[in-house]
Amino acid sequence: MDIIEKATVIHYHRHRIRTYSEGTAKALGWRGPESQTRRFEVLAGVGDLRGCSVLDVGCGHADLKAFLDRTASDVTYLGLDQMPEFVTEAQARYQDDPRATILQADFTTATLPEVDYVLASGALAYRCADPDFHLRMIERMWTVARRALGFNMLRKEVFPEHPLLVGHDLDQVVAFCKGLSGDVEVVEGYLDDDFTVFVRADGSTNPRIDMPSP
């Protein structure tokens, strides 16, 4: 993304902060906490996260950290986000947690640490003039994931003309990911505008999975 595209994303979220208040799921761009939590539930299926290190790309308020605290044990969490307001909120929430580190950083250019799992919820949802931006970011995240990468995307059929958000073609994304690993899993059906992809390091192949909507 170029500097104008990044500034547009920041302006979008600052407008939502003014509209919906700091610290809310809607300030992050979600319809509400329910859809955010549903995405987290699916992402957690990437593997056994207990005792592992997790990099949360585009972490927002580190809500994924709160979810993992309820569903996994002994997770070492690192969250990255470029929005200073989000990072300030997240750091305040977890300043006394020795297993949590939240940093202000642009994941598209920052040096990413190697971790067991890389997770990204909503980080690839923004429109970019570079048609291959999302693919380059997938590969960038994959290179630092020892065990697996999990990410969700908006569906192209639902977001064809949105001024800021962009949907992606599932078949194109899966074909690209299969060039990175022989173990690629797709989860669909949990929300009508979203899909999740897991790219694992063990080389086995998993079928596409459809999850019913709640």
As a whole number, mean pLDDT of residues 13-40 equals 78
| Cα distance between residue 53 and residue 41, in whole Å | 18
Domains detected in the chain = 34-210 (3.40.50.150)
The reported pTM is 0.88
Give the residue with greater pLDDT, 126 vs 80.
80
Q: Which value, in Å, is the radius of gyration of the alpha carbons in the chain? A: 16
| Cα distance between residue 193 and residue 31, in whole Å | 12
pLDDT level of residue 124 (50, 70, 90 thresholds): very high
The lowest-confidence range among 27-31, 44-48, 151-155, 201-205 is 201-205
| Cα distance between residue 178 and residue 39, in whole Å | 22
Containing 100, the helix (H) or strand (E) segment is: strand 100-104
